[in-house]
Structure 1
C-alpha cells in the first residue's frame, strides 16, 4: 500500500510542516519478512501510520509491530534527512532514530541487571553508592524511587546551559547538590534527564564500565543489534535520522513548561540533537539510537520475560520488578498530568493511557515528542513507532490517536493473564 505526503501550504505556514523534496516522493519501504497476523488488518494499521506521516509533522515514520513473536508489520516511509530544500535521504528500515526519553527503559534494564547480578540493591539509598548524592536531604532516596521518578531532582537548576549534558561530572555535581522536592520521595515528578546521569554513575561505580560498554555486554551484543547505542559512533554518523522542529511555535504555556522540563526551549533542544556534541555524548535518559526493528525486538524480549532466541537477557523476576506498578496513577508535577509508572517504564491504563484504551498491562515509554515504544502482554504485541518530527501541538494528533486505536482493536485482549503475572520463575529451595 502506498501512502504519499500531503501537507499543504497552510499546514506548512501554521504548523511548520517541514517541506519534503519532490524528488524523494516519500518512498515506502516494506520488510519482505512481514507475515500474516492472524486476522489483524495490517493494512488498516499502516493506513493510520500513513495518515500520521501525511499530517506533515514527521518527515519520516518507521514502524515495527510483532504479534505472538512474529513480525507482522515493519515499514518505513518518508525522509530521514534533507528537508526544506536540502539533499533528500529516504528513510530505510534500518535507519537509526534517536529514541529520546524512550531510552529510559533501556537504561532502567541495565540498573535492574545490576540488581539481578547482586551488584546493587534497588532498595538501597542512591547515596550508598554515590555518597555525594546525600547532600541537602537526599540521603534516604532509594534507587527504586529514582527509577520511579520520585527522587525529587527532576531537573537541573534554572539557567543551566544545555551543554552541561555533555559533561557528566558537572551534571552529576549539580544533581547531587540540589535539595529534593521531598526527602522521603513522596512527590512524583518526571525526571527528564537527571535519572540517566545517576544511572550512568551507578553503572560506573558497580562495574567500572561506561554505559555503552555495559549496554554492549548486557543487551546489544547478546541480541545482535547493529545500532542500539547511546549516541552514535563516529563511524556510523550520517546514517541516523535528523530531527526537525514542527508544529505550532512553542511560545505558549505548554512551550514554557516544556522548556522547564527539557532545560531549554523545544527548538533549541531539536537543533542541539543534530550536533556532533549530542551524537558523541552518552545520555542514558535521552539519546539511545535504534531502528524500529531493534526497538521492537527489545520490548519483545521483555514481553518474553527476558528471553531472546535462547538467551536469558534479563531474568523473569527482574522483568517483573521493571514492569510492576510503583504506585497508583498520580499527578506528575513535571508533566502536569496523572501518570502511572513502574521502576523504569510508563504504564498503560485501564480506561485510557499512553498506549490507547484499556491497556492496563502495557508497559513502555514515550519519546520526544511522538516516539512510542511498548509491549502489551494482554494482546501479545510489541510495537515501535519512530519518527523525526518534533511537534508539541500540530496537525498530527488525531491521526496518532487513530493509529493507537487501530492497533488496540486489531489485537483483542486476553482475559486470563495468569501466565504473565504469575510466571516469574520459582525460587529453588
Structure 2
C-alpha cells in the first residue's frame, strides 16, 4: 500500500487523455521499420502512464530524420496529487516542459559553438576567461574538465543551501569562484548537478559579450525554429507550461542523502520549487531550459545529421565530434555512486547496456531529474525526447521508463554495425 501512495488518477480509456496530430507522423514502414513499430512504442508509454506516477508524458521520435511519433498523454496541470482536479489541462505535444538536467547538454553545446568560432578552446583554463575562478587549486582546471564533471566543484560550498538561492546566478557564481575543489583538477569524476553550468555559462557570456539567453536564442532556438527552448519562461508563456509533481513514496534514507547532496534540497520538495515563478524567471544553465519534446528532438536530430537542420549548417560536424568524444572510460561517479561515462557535453551510451538501452555504444544525450531522457543514436539513426512531469523513485516508474527505452531500441533496429 505504501508503494501505491501519492499517484494520479488514470482513466480507463486513455484516448481521453492522449493528444497528437497524425499528420505530423510518418508511417514506420517509410523509414524501414515494421508496421507496428510505433504502436509497440506507444503501448510502452501507455503502460508507464498507467502506473499513476506521471501526470503527463510527451514523446517525440525521429528515424532517418522523419517524425514517427509525436504524442502526449496525461495532463499538464490539474491532475497531480494535491492539485485541484476541477479543470485539468491536457498535456499536448506543444506544451513546454522543464528539462531539468537535460539542460546541461544544450548549455554545453553553446561552449562548443564558441570554440567552433575560434573564441575559446576546450583545453584552455577556466581562469583564462574567468580570472576570479583561478584560486585554491582551481587555477589549472580546463573547460573540458569542467564540462565532463571533472572540475572538482560538484557542490555549492554551503552547509545549508536555500534552494531559491540557486535562482540567483550572481551569488552562486561568486560562491563557486571562491570555493575549494574536492579534488585536484581532472582527477575525480563527480557529477556537477548545477554548479558547472554557472561557471561555463559565465565564460560563454564573457567570451561572447552576450547574455546566455541571447546565445541560446540565436545559436539554437531560432535556427531550429523553436517556440520555447529557452531558460525559464516568459510570463505570457507560463499558463501553458506543464507543472511538475512529486509522486510515489518518499526516498529511503540512503537515496535521500545522495539526492540532497546532488540537488541541494529534499527530493520531494524540488518539484514544487520548480513550479515557482522565481525559477521560471531565473537562468539556471544546468537545470531550467523549457522545451517541447519535438524541440528537444530537433536539437538531437541536428547533431545526428552533422549539424544540419532543414538544409542549414547550424554546427560544423567536427564540433559535434568533439562534443561527443569521451572524456575518459566509464567509471564510478563519486556523486551519483553509479558507473557512467561522460563527454564534455553528454552522458554516453554503452555496450552491452547503458542509459539508452542495449548496445548503444555511440549514443549520446542526457538525463533530467531521473526520468526525462533525450538522446540520439547514430547506429539506429534515431533521435528521441521523452519528457514527463512526475518526479519519483518508485520502482515501477524506473521499470516503466526502462521498458519504453528498451522498446524504442528493439523497434528501431541498428542500421550500422
TM-score category of the 2 structures, normalised to the smaller one: over 0.9
* Correspondence for 2:63: 67
Structure 2 contact 246–269 (Cα < 8 Å) conserved: no
Residue number in structure 2 paired with 1:7: none
Question: Secondary structure, in 3 states, of the residue corresponding to 1:237?
Answer: helix
Structure 2 residue 112 is the aligned partner of structure 1 residue 112: yes
The answer to whether the aligner puts 1:30 opposite 2:20 as a matched pair is yes
Aligned-partner Cα distance in 1 for 2:296–2:173: 28
Other-structure match for 2:238: 237
Show the counterpart of 2:202: 201
CA distance 1:188–1:85, shift in 2 (3 Å): same
How do 1:356-395 residues align onto structure 2 when only pairs under 5 Å count? 356-395=357-396
C-alpha separation in 2, matches of 1:304 and 1:268: 39
In the TM superposition, what is the alpha-carbon distance from 1:355 to its structure 2 partner? 0.4
Post-superposition Cα deviations, 1:5-40, rounded to whole Å, max 9, x if no partner, equal: xxxxx48x7342134689998511122221112223
Which deviations, in whole Å up to 9, do the C-alpha atoms of 1:115-174 show, x marking residues without a partner? Answer: 111111110110110011112110000000011000000010231211221211110111
Instruction: Please say if residues 18 and 244 of structure 1, whose CA atoms lie closer than 8 Å, have aligned partners that are also in contact.
Output: no
3-state secondary structure, aligned to 1:222 = coil
CA distance in 1, matches of 2:326, 2:120: 21
Question: In the alignment, is the contact (CA less than 8 A) between 2:7 and 2:247 conserved in 1?
Answer: yes
**Conserved? CA contact 2:102–2:372, under 8 Å:** yes
Q: How does 1:320-399 map to 2 (within 5 A)?
A: 320-399=321-400
1:299 Cα deviation (Å)?
0.3
CA contact (8 A) 2:10 2:52 kept: no
Given that 1:246 and 1:394 are in contact with CA atoms closer than 8 Å, whether structure 2 keeps it comes out as no
Mapping 1:50-89, distance limit 5 Å:
50-83=46-79, 84-86=83-85, 87-89=87-89
Q: Are residues 1:215 and 2:211 paired? A: no
Distance in 1 (CA, whole Å) between partners of 2:395 and 2:366 is 21
Is the 8 Å Cα contact of residues 57 and 394 (structure 1) preserved in structure 2? no
Aligned partner of 2:253 in structure 1 is 252
Distance of 1:264 and 1:155 partners within structure 2:
12
Q: Which moved more, 1:108-117 or 1:164-173?
A: 164-173
Contact 2:371 2:398 in 1 (8 A): no
* Structure-2 residue corresponding to 1:419: none
Runs of 4+ in structure 1 deviating by more than 6 angstroms, as ranges, are 21-25
- Structure 2 spans left out of the alignment, 5+ residues: none
1:226 aligns with 2:236: no
- The corresponding residue for 2:145 is 145
Note if contact 2:57-2:389 (Cα within 8 Å) is conserved in structure 1.
Answer: yes
Q: 1:24 to 1:73 in 2, by over 3 A?
A: closer
Is residue 2:115 matched to residue 1:121?
no
Query: How far 1:404 sits from its partner (Å)?
Result: 1.2
Distance change in 2, residues 1:22/1:353 (3 Å):
closer
- Does the CA-based 8 Å contact 1:49-1:403 persist in structure 2? yes
Write the distance in 2 (CA, Å) between the matches of 1:311 and 1:236. Answer: 28
Q: Does the 8 Å CA contact 2:380/2:416 hold for their aligned counterparts? A: no
Q: For the structure 1 residues 67 and 415, does the alpha-carbon distance in structure 2 shift closer, same or farther, using more than 3 Å as the test?
A: closer
Kept in 1, the 8 Å contact 2:19–2:72? The answer is yes
Give the TM-score normalised by the residue count of structure 1: 0.91
Residue pair 1:140, 1:183 contacting (<8 A) in 2 also: no
Deviates more, 1:143-152 or 1:84-93: 84-93
Measure the CA separation in 2 of the matches of 1:155 and 1:26.
44
Q: 1:26 to 1:273 in 2, by over 3 A?
A: farther
Kindly tell me the number of residue pairs found equivalent between the two proteins.
406
* Corresponding residue of 2:170: 169
Match of 2:33 among 33, 39, 53: 39
**Contact kept in structure 2, 1:26 and 1:90, CA below 8 Å:** no
Structural RMSD (CA): 1.7
Cα contact 2:10–2:50 (8 A) shared by 1: no
Aligned to 1:424: none
